[in-house]
Amino acid sequence: MTPFLSRQLIYPLQESLLNRPTFPYLESLEKTQWLSRFELEALQLQKLQTLLKSAQLHSPWHAERIASSGMNLDALSFEELRKLPTMNKVDAQNNGQAMAWHEVPGGSFSYTTGGSSGAPLIFRYGRNRQASDAAGRIRARRWWQVNVGDKEVYLWGAPVELNNTDKIKTLRDRLINQLVLNAFAMSPTTMESYLKMIQRFNPSCIYGYASSVALLAEYAKRNQRNLHLPALKVVCTTGEPLYPEQRHLITEVFKVPVANEYGSRDIGFTAHENSHQQMLLMSESILLEVLDDSGQPVKAGEMGEAVMTGLCSEAQSFIRYRTGDMVRLAVDLDKEGRGLHVIDEVLGRETDFLIHQNGSIIHALAAIYVLRETPGIEQFKITQQTLYDFEILVVCNEHWKSEGLEIIADKFKARFGSACNTHIQLVKEILPEASGKMRQVVSKVAIPI
C-alpha cells in the first residue's frame, strides 16, 4: 500500500470504524505540545478534574477514596491531589470490578499485564485510552520524520499459531505498511531471513523490544551483514531498559539514531525520546509525580518513585498509581521548545532471553504471557536451568485450579519444544534476588549466536 493511501484512507478508516478518536486527539497533541510548561500543567489539572469527577460518579472504589480523602475537586491543585492516597497493583488486582466504569461510552476491553514482580493484573481500558496510546506514538514518530503510513518493521511478540483474528490483523498490518517479525523465535536462521526481509521492505522505522533489536544487530555485525536501508530514519526500542552499549551497536549496524520509549500496559504509552535523546513525557495523557519514600515530591534532578495518573483511563482509572519504577525528572526543558516534561532517567525492568530446544532465541515475554494468562496466579518466577528444564515458582490465589499445571506445561512445550520439562512449585512467597531486584525470568543457558 502506498504511504499516502495508508495515511489518508486505510488507517483513518480503521480508527473511525472502531470508534477510536485517534486522529482528533492527534491533532490536539500536535498543538498542545507547544504550550508553555505552565499552560500544559493547567491542561493537566483540567483533565485530572474531569477524570476524578468521572471516577467519583462511576467507580465506587475511587468514589470512596475521594470522599474519605477530603479533596475539593472544585478547587483542584497538585497539592490538593496529594490528599488522595496512592494506589498500587494489589489495589487494582483486588478491586478491579469496583474500579471499572462498566458502561463507559464506546465499551471497554480486558487487558492483562505481568509487571516487574511477576504479579499478573487484569484491567479494563476504553477507546480514549487506545486513542491516547496510538496518537502519542504517531506524534513521537513525527519527531523523527516518520508519519502514518510510512513503512515500519515491528520486531514483536507473535502467537505460536495464527487464528482467524491473527490472520485478519496480519492483513491489516500490510494495509497500513507494517511488517511484523516474530521476536519470540530468533535463531540464527530466522535472524538471517529477518535481515533479508528488512532489506527488501526498506522501512522508515524499525520498532521492537530493546534486547531483541540489539540481538539482531549483534548477529548482523558478527556475520558482517552490511545493510543498505536508504529510507530508514530511526530505530525505536521499547519494553525494557536500553543500555548505552545496545544503543551504540544498533546505531552502528542500522546507521540511524535510536529512540527509546517508556510505558507499560496498565498506564499506557508514557514517554519517547526526541532527536536530542531527551525522554519526553506524554504530558497531556499522563500525570507523573516523582515521590520520595515518605510520599513527598522530590525536586527535578532527584531520583524517586514514578507515581502516575492516566488522564485518559476513565474505563478503569489508575489514579496516583505506584509503578515501582524509579525515575528522575530533568532540570532542562525540551531542546526543541516543547512544554512536555523531560525524564532524565528511568530505572525499569529487565529480563533474560530463553532458548528453544532447537536453539532459537526467544524473548522472555513468550513465557511471561503463558503465566499471566493463567487464572489464579498472583506472582511467578521462571528460571531456565538447562536447555530442556524450566523451574517455575507460582504464588496462587483462590481462583487457581489444579488444571493450571497442565495448561502451563502444555503451553511451554508449544513455545519451547516438546522435550521441555516444567517443574512447577506452588509457594507462599517469591524472594527477590541477592541484589534486591525482583526478576520474572532468569536464564542459565548461554545464548547461541
Question: Mind listing the pLDDT tens digit for each residue in 333-353?
Answer: 999 999 999 999 887 555 678
The number of residues making up the chain comes to 449
pLDDT at 281: 98
Which tops the pLDDT comparison, 183 or 251? Answer: 251
Q: Which range has the top average pLDDT, 11-20, 70-79, 440-449?
A: 70-79
- Tell me the mean pLDDT in the region 413-423: 93
pLDDT at 248: 94
pLDDT at 394 over 90: yes
Mean of all residue pLDDT scores within the chain: 89
- Tell me the mean pLDDT in the region 382-395: 94
Look up residue 145 and give its three cell numbers. 520524520
Please report which helix (H) or strand (E) contains residue 412, including its range: helix 403-416
Cα separation, 344 vs 58, in Å, equals: 36
276 with 144: CB under 8 angstroms?
Answer: no
76 with 45: CB under 8 angstroms?
Answer: yes
Kindly state the DSSP code that residue 6 receives in the 8-state scheme.
I
Residue 183 CB partners (closer than 8 Å, separation 6+): 155, 156, 157, 158, 208, 209, 212, 363, 365
pLDDT at 364: 83
Buried b (16+ CB within 10 A) or exposed e, 217-230: bbbbeeeebeeebe
How many of the other CB atoms lie within 10 Å of CB of 43? 17
Residue ranges per structural domain of the chain? 3-131+265-347, 145-256, 354-443
pLDDT at 378: 81
pLDDT at 162 over 50: no
Compute the half-sphere exposure of residue 327: CA atoms within 13 Å on the CB side of its CA. 29
One fold for both 3-131+265-347 and 145-256?
A: yes
- Tell me the mean pLDDT in the region 405-424: 93
pLDDT at 437: 54
Q: What is the CATH number of domain 145-256?
A: 3.40.50.980
Look up residue 74 and give its three cell numbers. 472544585
Cα separation, 212 vs 363, in Å, equals: 7
* Domain range 354-443, CATH architecture: 2-Layer Sandwich (3.30)
Cα separation, 308 vs 319, in Å, equals: 7
161 with 190: CB under 8 angstroms?
Answer: no
Report the topology of domain 3-131+265-347: Rossmann fold (3.40.50)
